[in-house]
Chain A
Amino acid sequence: MTAYEKVMAARDSGKLTAVDYIANMFGDSFIELHGDRRFADDKAVVSGLAMLYDMPVTVIGLEKGRNTKERMERNFGQAHPEGYRKALRLMKQAEKFRRPVLCLVDTSGAFCGIGAEERGQGQAIAENLMEMMALKTPILTILIGEGGSGGALALAVADEVWMLENSVYSVISPEGCASILWKDSTKAPQAAEALKMTAQDLFDLGVIERIIRQPKADDKAMFESLKLLVSRTFEKNLAMTDEELTNARYNRFRKLGAGI
């Protein structure tokens, strides 16, 4: 597949979304928790508590919706500031109980609109980056579709970041990049190549730790092995002291783009 074909696959409306992953990995144990306690409950973010085998975890996902009605409700997975603040509220709660946090990212980006700006989209994302970096509990992020810029990063300051084989992660959409740089959005395929946004590119750049095979809806074996992988990673990171954990997270990002 070319880079742009991967972009298309990552955006495919038929693929599994965050709620599918939650259902397949956690079943009935998932308890959804709502609201940022400040303004509203942003439905682009689905979050709550769940049991991973016998381990309580906090799960936070960016949810695009699986049909037209859901997609409207979920604002196509584009969160407002209250969505990022809801996520941070749940992360701080997870820290209190030293419960690991699993983030599932699938968004074309943070929402661009009047309300989002009025309520401090930039400030909300910035606060997440700062607080996640020092959160005293393990964080693991899996990109399950699109990873659109700051809106994705706001849930991806983690101990490890994994990507599905057909997911993408980029500072800008290839269409946006092509229209700004080359004044021609039809050059998006070239931009997708140049931006190095596929899972393999990001693995080679040292930005992610693992590439995960693409699961299908009834792929029980796949979800079972994903659960096992996630729980092993959490167990390993739970064994670290707070200081070891946050130092490792800091250094993980510290080395990116430092070899100048």
Chain B
Amino acid sequence: MDLFSFRKPKNELESLPDEQQNVPFIPDEMWIKCPKCNTMLLTTDMEENLHVCTKCDHHFRMNAKQRISMFADGDSFVEHDADMESKNILDFPGYDAKLEKARAKGSKESVICGECKIGGINTVLCAMDPDFMMGSMGTVTGEKITRAFEYATDNSLPIVVCTAAGGARMQEGILSLMQMAKTSGAVKRHNDAGLLYITILTDPTTGGVTASFAMEGDIILAEPDTLVAFAGPRVIEQTIRQKLPKDFQTSEFVLQKGFIDAVVSRSNLKDMVVKLLRIHGYGVEEAE
């Protein structure tokens, strides 16, 4: 806080840091307010900083495309099964409209899978999309993740999965639930082939994804202040009818409880992944 922090700002602009007040005119949509420290950030600055607040280090959510470009070297990413799309298999009322609305936001599905180089190392990379129906796991999500693990197993490749999921894709009923078993089977085969699986938990990782592949990595990393839960906080509060402790179910909390290996800032994540790949012997030959 600076010396003048006691002075109540008259409007939002006045509360901006000095260097931003001198900017002549910038349209509203180019500003974004940090939900943690309330600073108005230039969208471009925030994006250049890996979608992290330049003031308080708050990690904004990233969509799947942004995740992929964060990890993949240059334009090395080759997407797999890009055309696979969710269908209303159970004729669930209102689902078609929901899918259409979700696709209009720019993503085709709740996960993007493919192959790329990370620090020069061939790796299978999957990123879930919190923008697409909250990253919920439908049959296409499960199928794409399963295929990614099978591809990694067949080609002796390590795999990195960035998880994000707000719950089950209930419009796909029991078939959505079955994806938990299907993906876990594919993880198990990859595991039994002696290959490395790194999970990166991003906000929010909950429900069936937590109770399947999110918790099955050899190494499980999480971004700071990420919601990591099986049952979400609202469900628990309704069940037990009491308020939950403040930091309950954050990545720092599950670290303390022993369920993840480390909390890593976004700016250090790629370096950490490359280090982990190397320590497992990947990319060593290529480097020589």
Contacts and interface: CB of A to CB of B under 8 A. Distances in A.
Interface residues of B, number: 60
A256 B181 CA distance: 10
Given A130-B216, A133-B188, A171 B168 contact: yes
A107 B48 CA distance: 48
A190 B94 CA distance: 13
Contacts of A110: 211, 230-231
Contact of A113 (B90, B143, B146, B239): B239
A107 to B, nearest CB: 13
A105 interface: no
Contacts of B215: 120, 122-123, 126-127
Contact of A170 (B84, B142, B173, B191): B173
B229 interface: yes
Interface stretch (A25-33, A96-104, A191-199): A191-199
Contacts of B177: 149-150, 153, 170-171
A194 B212 contact: no
Contacts of A156: 181
A250 B189 CA distance: 10
A171 B174 CA distance: 5
Contacts of A172: 168, 170
Nearest to B257: A118
A125 interface: yes
Contacts of A116: 230-231
A196 B90 contact: yes
A122 B257 contact: no
A154 B212 CA distance: 10
Contacts, number: 175
A170 B174 contact: yes
A153 B180 CA distance: 9
Contact of B181 (A133, A169, A190, A202): A133
Nearest to A133: B185
Contact of B94 (A121, A125, A157, A181): A181
A121 B230 CA distance: 6
A131 B187 CA distance: 10
Nearest to A202: B174
A257 B259 contact: no
B181 A157 contact: yes
B182 A117 contact: no
B122 interface: no
Contacts of A197: 173-174
B213 A126 contact: yes
Nearest to A81: B230
B185 A122 contact: no
Interface in A152-200: 153-154, 156-157, 169-172, 177, 180-181, 190, 194-197
Contacts of A117: 229-231, 236, 248-249
Interface string B178-198: 111110110111011000000
Contacts of B258: 120
A114 B244 contact: yes
Contacts of A181: 94, 170-171
A133 B191 CA distance: 12
B87 A260 contact: yes
Interface string A215-243: 00000000000000000000000000000
B275 to A, nearest CB: 24
A202 B174 CA distance: 8
B211 A194 contact: no
Contacts of A127: 215-216
A6 B170 CA distance: 19
Nearest to B259: A120
Contact of A122 (B140, B167, B170, B211): B211
Given A110-B230, A258-B143, A196 B184 contact: no
B175 to A, nearest CB: 5
Contact of A153 (B90, B181, B191): B181
B110 interface: no
B2 to A, nearest CB: 40
A134 interface: yes
A71 B168 CA distance: 28
A229 B137 CA distance: 35
Given A172-B168, A177-B170, A257-B182, A126 B216 contact: yes
B226 interface: no
Contacts of A157: 181, 184-185
Interface in B6-48: none
Interface of B: 84-85, 87, 89-90, 92-94, 138-140, 142-143, 146, 167-168, 170-182, 184-185, 187-189, 191-192, 207-208, 210-216, 229-231, 235-236, 239-240, 244-245, 248-249, 254, 257-259
6 contacts: A116-B231, A126-B215, A134-B185, A172-B168, A196-B174, A260-B85
Sorted nearest first, the 3 A-B pairs with minimum C-beta distance are A257-B139, A122-B210, A112-B231
